[in-house]
Amino acid sequence: MLRLDQLSRRRAGRPAVQDLSLLLQHGQVLGLLGVNGAGKSTTLSMIAGALRPDSGSIQLNGADFLEQPELARQLIGWLPERAPLWPELTVSEHLDAHGHLRGLHGAALKQARTAIIDRLELQPLARRLAGVLSQGQRQRLGLACALLHKPALLVLDEPANALDPVQVAALRTLIREQAAAGTAVILSTHLLTEVTAVCDRVAILHEGTLRHDGAVHSDDHAALERTFFEIAMSGNNQPARAA
């Protein structure tokens, strides 16, 4: 579904991501782990089409995404870190705006909006301005916008930020639901529990390079923690290894 090949990007004069190669299948949930500044958000921004890589390629369903950036419109749903919103628009207007930008119109948009409002229980907030929402509510709205057009790839950057434990549980259920429906999900986080709870695979980034790529088992928390800390405490230029 998604193939990253030798993806690199410099930011602020230093390499933020270097030679990153990854493969993701339909229905798979990939956890992207790393300490702050490891290159997770840069990677996700490139996958979402918001940032152009310096080199390398991104393929979506076999098509070169960098040559056809409009593919992102249809295939990708992105929730950036801190869920940026237009503060003067209501929740409902946000969904309409995202729908228009993703090519949804008329009855199809109305149907998609109603479905996502019901699924994420946004009905009581539908007429509220985004500027007055709590951080948790903002995250839910951002997630609704990302899911509105039923993307084939869902890119979530720290989605559990500011959510209470009940909302975190609901988010995990939602991610598993999406994966069961065939959506590929990439989830960036620095919480190991998040990865063991919902992910099939984990990729650990450190100083912009992929240092680990392997399967995750829910009873594997201690092993994952050990691997993560080994990488986080190590120096640079270690090769990626499969678990």
Partner 1 sequence: MSPAFVSPFAVTRLEWRRLLVRPLAWVLAALTLAWLAWNFTLLLGNFLAGQIQRAAQPDGPGFVDLVAVPLLAQLAQLAFMVVPLITMSVLAGERRNGTLPLLFAAGVPASRIVLGKYLAVLGWLLLWLALTLAMPLTLMHATHFDWGKLASATLGLALMLAALGALGVACSAFASHPAIAAAAALVIALALWGVNLGAQMAGINDGAINWLAMSTHLQSLLRGLVSTTDIVWFVLLTVLALALATRRLVADKERG
In whole angstroms, give the CA distance from residue 37 to residue 67: 28
135 binds partner 1 (CB under 8 A): no
How does DSSP classify residue 230? H
159's CB contacts (< 8 A; 6+ apart) are 79, 139, 143, 171, 187, 189
CA-based angle 1:44:182, to the nearest 5? 30
Choices 27-35, 90-98, 170-178, 179-187; region in contact with partner 1 by CB under 8 A: 90-98
Buried b (16+ CB within 10 A) or exposed e, 132-156: ebeebbbbbbbbbbbbbbbbbbbbb
Q: What are the structure tokens assigned to 130, written together?
A: 């985004």
Q: Site for partner 1 (CB under 8 A): which residue of 23, 35, 66, 85?
A: 85
Considering the complex, state which of residue 100 and residue 217 has its C-beta at the smaller distance from partner 1: 100
113 binds partner 1 (CB under 8 A): no
Considering the complex, state which of residue 73 and residue 172 has its C-beta at the smaller distance from partner 1: 73
Contact 85, 138 (CB under 8 A): yes
**Residue 233: CB atoms within 10 Å:** 9
Q: Minimum distance from CB of 52 to partner 1 (Å)?
A: 6
76 binds partner 1 (CB under 8 A): yes
Q: What are the structure tokens assigned to 179, written together?
A: 């994966």
80 binds partner 1 (CB under 8 A): yes
What is the Cα gyration radius of the chain? 18
14 binds partner 1 (CB under 8 A): no
Choices 71-79, 117-125, 212-220, 233-241; region in contact with partner 1 by CB under 8 A: 71-79
Q: Site for partner 1 (CB under 8 A): which residue of 9, 113, 140, 211?
A: 9
Considering the complex, state which of residue 70 and residue 230 has its C-beta at the smaller distance from partner 1: 70
Q: In the range 41-70, which residues lie near partner 1 by CB under 8 A?
A: 42, 45, 48-52, 61, 63, 68-70
Report CA torsion sign: 212, 214, 218, 220. Answer: negative
Q: Minimum distance from CB of 92 to partner 1 (Å)?
A: 11
Considering the complex, state which of residue 71 and residue 199 has its C-beta at the smaller distance from partner 1: 71
Residue appearing with tokens 């989830």:
187
Q: Site for partner 1 (CB under 8 A): which residue of 25, 74, 111, 123?
A: 74
Q: What are the structure tokens assigned to 125, written together?
A: 């907030």
| Cα 141 versus chain centre, distance | 15
Choices 19-27, 96-104, 120-128, 185-193; region in contact with partner 1 by CB under 8 A: 96-104
87 binds partner 1 (CB under 8 A): yes
CA distances from 32 to 118, 167, 175, 208, 216 (A): 29, 21, 14, 12, 12
Question: Footprint of partner 1 on this chain (CB under 8 A)?
Answer: 9, 11, 42, 45, 48-52, 61, 63, 68-76, 78, 80, 82, 84-89, 93, 97-98, 100-105, 149
